[in-house]
Chain A
């Protein structure tokens, strides 16, 4: 099946710094990629939807200036958490949707962000 990778798988950073998370679709092209955040024992919460070559669409309550999303190609999207704070510590999961067919959506393995 299709594979979505994320890098890094975990990261620890100091408060005030920025962190970039990469999401790649390894064997298919994804016009649309999604970024989710998941807190402990909670379900996935959609943060934003990004379409290749255009600006991301953010869900209500998600600060676009804090969570910068770039979808530069059909296989790569990045999420940058700017000026991170401890409350940004969470599990970030990306998902990529196929361009054609069933519009199947595949999830990455997630990135654990800890801000100290």
Chain B
């Protein structure tokens, strides 16, 4: 069964600190993996998209890594800001373009002053 597991479920960090969110998946064959940020009451916004051949991709203070062999990905946030408080969702697409996305349950990040 195709699954995406995220950890931790929730995280509280101080403003300015770094953090790393984890994502393990069993989707196979695999096409790409995405990280989304979802603010409360808003739709998900794409942060990064990585294909199986990519190991690292950055978007500002967000850096995603991917190990297609172990089926693991991480999202590292540096110098966190209060506005980073949101849910971060890992989403995996199977190989076919018509394959539905498989969503993780998300990590709820709270950045406090």
Contact status of A105 and B101, CB under 8 A, knowing A93-B43, A110-B43, A112-B41: yes
Interface hits, A7-58 → B, CB 8 Å: 32, 34, 41-44, 46, 49
Identify which of B42, B97, B104 contacts A103 (C-beta below 8 A).
Answer: B97
Residues of chain A at the chain B interface (Cβ within 8 Å): 1, 4, 6, 32, 34, 41-44, 46, 49, 91, 93, 102-110, 112
Interface of B is mostly: loop
- Count of residues in B whose CB is under 8 Å from the partner chain: 18
Contact across chains for A44 and B44 when beta carbons are under 8 A apart: yes
Identify which of B41, B45, B106 contacts A107 (C-beta below 8 A).
Answer: B45
Residues of B within 8 A of A109 (CB): 42-43
Closest to B89 in A: A43
Residues of A within 8 A of B103 (CB): 43-44
Contact across chains for A43 and B104 when beta carbons are under 8 A apart: yes
